[in-house]
Structure 1
Amino acid sequence: MVSVPLLLALLGPLFAGAPGPRAASFTLGGGHWLGTDFVGRDVWRQVLLGGESVVLVALAATALAYAVALPLGLGAALTRRPWLEESLMRPLDVLLAVPSLLVVLLVAAVSEPGAAGLALLVALVNIPDAARIVRAAAAQAAASPAVEALRMQGESRWRIAFGFVGRSLLRTLAADAGVRLTGVLYLVATAAFLGVGVAPDAADWAVMVDRNRTGLFVQPWAVVVPALLIVALSTGTNLLFDAALDGGRRSEKRKEPRR
């Protein structure tokens, strides 16, 4: 479920080839495996080209969100200054009250973000929630005697934050990453569906669903195939992370000494 959409997104443009002559809109056959779309373009070629803008933007946005949220959450959990923790977390609480899709639409109304801008914008709306999860998960480890011992030994803040406390967050971050990537993927797809960050006739899976839905009962493949690829990637990502977490739990249980 994960490999097919990812391979299409990464390698699809290499095999798409040059665009052929356009046929009649919403037709099946005629040398086109999946028929043609609303303007007569080959649907299979659009599928090969359409994953890059959705999948890569979602992956980039998720990585950027964690790149900022991780140091923010760890800094808030490890600081001994309450005013600093409040200064880091309270603005994020205010941002959480604003719906993420509303922020994307408001920014898009002012300027056209493009693919890179859309990835940055989606990352920004995910930073507050991710930082709060990191801070909550790191609070217990940050207050442990081991951290106090490391401080007394003169260990650097970097080593304490990422070498000890950060390692204790791996299971929590893995569980959150599956859910967050799914949410980011749907937010990126919804933004593309509404025409934010991509051209109205772009080769994009979400745009394909939007522009071809009027011919759903005439030529369903132009809608069904890109929609299934988006759903397969999001569902498969969650199942993949769940399986990894379950495997880690079983491995730990096998290592526990029997009494």
Structure 2
Amino acid sequence: MWRNRSLVLGGAIVAVILISAVFAPLLTPYSPTEQNYTEILQPMSAHHWLGTDPVGRDILSRILIGARTSMEVSFGAVAIGMLVGIPVGLFSGFYGGFMDNWVIMRVVDALQAFPFLILALVLAAMLGPGIGNAMFAIAIGYLPIFIRITRGQVIAEMNKDYVEAAKMVGASPMRIMFKHILRNVTTPLIVQGTIAMASGIVAEASLSYLGLGPKPPTASWGTMIQTAQGYMSQAPWFGLIPGFAIVIAVLGFNMLGEGLQDLWNPRNRNR
């Protein structure tokens, strides 16, 4: 495992981000919403490690709370996508027939006809700004991904000996699906869920940038970048720092997903 650099480095980055997000209220040196007009756009200093924004709020505090916001939306969206998409994919792959080919998969095809971010943007615009609405809009984009992956894995497992043996001893379809098949298809789903966290971070930042994410004064990396547009020549750190945070977070989750895929790949087990 320690030779898997993507897993180790990605896991370390994700661990730091998750710890920062969970304990953000305890780690923030200042209130993320407290305005101080005597310290507007201050550069990095001993008092404000990452400087201040146009209304004197501490950028480090807002970055930490922004991490919490980003993780909350991303994790919630992935959780909804998996909790709904995996059972639907299980039933679709196990039973097949009309519901699989002409109902479920046609809905999946229709959803995947739209680019992920465009679909999330349209849904968020219809629902309005807010953490819950952003989470739901992003989750809808994940549904076809998890349905299709689960369905494909179930179809690949259907003719294996352990499934036939379970049928011969009289196991119910629900028991076969959720006790026998599901445990053998979790690996690609966990990998996809990890990678989906990265795209969720980008989606949340994009929605926040367009004013469709968490409502002010809730800190969000996307909102910080949007606000920084008019101050890039005067205070470039204000926009670069949240942008750097997004890049690092996305890189960490992508590396972790790639590392998990390599770790669980049967071809790499004997290396």
Structure 1 residues 252 and 203: alpha-carbon distance in aligned structure 2, compared to 1, 3 A threshold: closer
- Identical amino acids, percent of aligned pairs: 28
**Counterpart for residue 9 of structure 1:** 21
| RMSD, matched Cα | 2.4
Structure 1 residues 59 and 5: alpha-carbon distance in aligned structure 2, compared to 1, 3 A threshold: same
Structure 2 residue identity aligned to 1:219: A
Once the 2 structures are TM-superposed, how far is the Cα of residue 67 of structure 1 from its aligned partner?
0.8
Q: How far, CA to CA, are the matches of 2:111 and 2:87 in structure 1?
A: 18
Cα pair 1:66 1:127 within 8 Å, conserved: yes
**Counterpart for residue 213 of structure 1:** 229
**Counterpart for residue 9 of structure 2:** none
Structure 2 residue identity aligned to 1:44: L
Q: How far, CA to CA, are the matches of 1:113 and 1:210 in structure 2?
A: 15
Q: State how 1:80-229 maps to structure 2 within 5 Å.
A: 81-86=96-101, 87-199=103-215, 202-229=218-245
Cα pair 1:209 1:222 within 8 Å, conserved: yes
Once the 2 structures are TM-superposed, how far is the Cα of residue 24 of structure 1 from its aligned partner?
4.5
TM-score (norm 2): 0.84
The question of 1:21 aligning with 2:36 is answered yes
Q: How far, CA to CA, are the matches of 1:161 and 1:224 in structure 2?
A: 48
Cα pair 2:93 2:155 within 8 Å, conserved: yes
Structure 1 residues 82 and 249: alpha-carbon distance in aligned structure 2, compared to 1, 3 A threshold: closer
Cα pair 1:201 1:207 within 8 Å, conserved: no
Once the 2 structures are TM-superposed, how far is the Cα of residue 156 of structure 1 from its aligned partner?
2.2
Structure 2 residue identity aligned to 1:141: E
**Counterpart for residue 62 of structure 2:** 46
The number of residue pairs the alignment matches comes to 254
Q: How far, CA to CA, are the matches of 1:34 and 1:15 in structure 2?
A: 14
Q: How far, CA to CA, are the matches of 1:135 and 1:127 in structure 2?
A: 12
Q: Gapped runs of 5+ residues in structure 2? A: 1-12
**Counterpart for residue 61 of structure 1:** 77
Cα pair 2:17 2:67 within 8 Å, conserved: yes
Structure 2 residue identity aligned to 1:101: L
Q: How far, CA to CA, are the matches of 2:69 and 2:249 in structure 1?
A: 14
Q: How far, CA to CA, are the matches of 2:93 and 2:36 in structure 1?
A: 59
